[in-house]
Amino acid sequence: MIELKNLSKIYRTDTVETTALNNLTLSIPKGSFVAIKGPSGCGKTTLLNILGLMDRPSTGEVLLEGIAAGNMNEKERNRMRRSKIGFLFQKFNLIASLTVFENVELPLLYHKVDSATRKSKVTALLKQLGLEGRMNHYPHQLSGGQQQRVGLARCVINDPELILADEPTGNLDSKHGEEVMELLSELHRDGRTIVMVTHNDSYASYASEIIKLSDGAIVT
């Protein structure tokens, strides 16, 4: 699904140069569930952003299903991201001015799905996640656990093959954290590839592989 070859990312400001990723080589097979661990600042978010085609490496290569992301233009990158990749964030990143329904509907609008199909798909998914009574609520009217379930609905509404989750349980209590992990496990069993950053050892144990990063490099 993903191959990284000698990937490095260096951030430069006027005064500081930070090597966020240092010569990573890694391959993630289709259908795997990978957890990424490591101390704050070791490059986890940078790595996910590059995997998700949100950011570009300074040097090295990213191949998604054999296609070199470095050779794609912005339009092709956007198309690839929107059709194949779903994101889940620690801070949920829902749009405050949109309702639950509208937040989940948004990815379908990018794909020009017609209104009747949007309505039935979004309603069915929200119902499946126990949110049918919250469709017209705004994000601030929901608990953290409910907001992350909306985040998950938005993440999977387009049926992405690859799910990238950056500390998705970081702002949740253990009950809701486990609920999110169960939902991610289900998506994994359905055949999705999942890459998840976590600090929590018991959540990392849901994964089939654990990658430990330190100072932008893979330790184990």
Distance of CA 39 to the CA centre of its chain: 19
- Which long-range contacts link 14-20 to residues 24+ away (Cβ below 8 Å)? 19/215, 19/216, 20/46, 20/216
Q: How far apart are CA 139 and CA 146, in angstroms?
A: 9
- Minimum CB distance to Mg ion smaller for 101 or for 203: 203
Give least dist CB 138 to ligand ADP, A: 29
168 binds, among Mg ion, ligand ADP, none (CB under 5 to 8 A by kind): none
Q: How far apart are CA 65 and CA 168, in angstroms?
A: 25
40 binds, among Mg ion, ligand ADP, none (CB under 5 to 8 A by kind): ligand ADP
> Cβ-count burial of 133 within 10 angstroms (0-12 exposed, 13-18 middle, 19+ buried)?
exposed
Give least dist CB 99 to Mg ion, A: 29
- Minimum CB distance to ligand ADP smaller for 11 or for 110: 11
88 binds, among ligand ADP, Mg ion, none (CB under 5 to 8 A by kind): none
Interface residue list for ligand ADP (CB under 6 A): 11, 13, 18, 20, 38, 40-46
Q: How far apart are CA 164 and CA 155, in angstroms?
A: 9
Give least dist CB 57 to ligand ADP, A: 12
43 binds, among Mg ion, ligand ADP, none (CB under 5 to 8 A by kind): ligand ADP
Residue 45 binding Mg ion, by CB under 5 A: yes
Give least dist CB 20 to ligand ADP, A: 4
Please tell me whether residue 137 adopts helix, strand or coil conformation: coil
Q: How far apart are CA 68 and CA 159, in angstroms?
A: 22
**Contact between 103 and 131 (Cβ < 8 Å):** no
- Minimum CB distance to Mg ion smaller for 45 or for 198: 45
- Minimum CB distance to ligand ADP smaller for 153 or for 211: 211
- Give the CA angle between residues 94, 97, 102 to the nearest 5°: 65
Residue 46 binding Mg ion, by CB under 5 A: no
- Minimum CB distance to Mg ion smaller for 44 or for 118: 44
Q: Applying CB under 5 A, which residues contact Mg ion?
A: 44-45
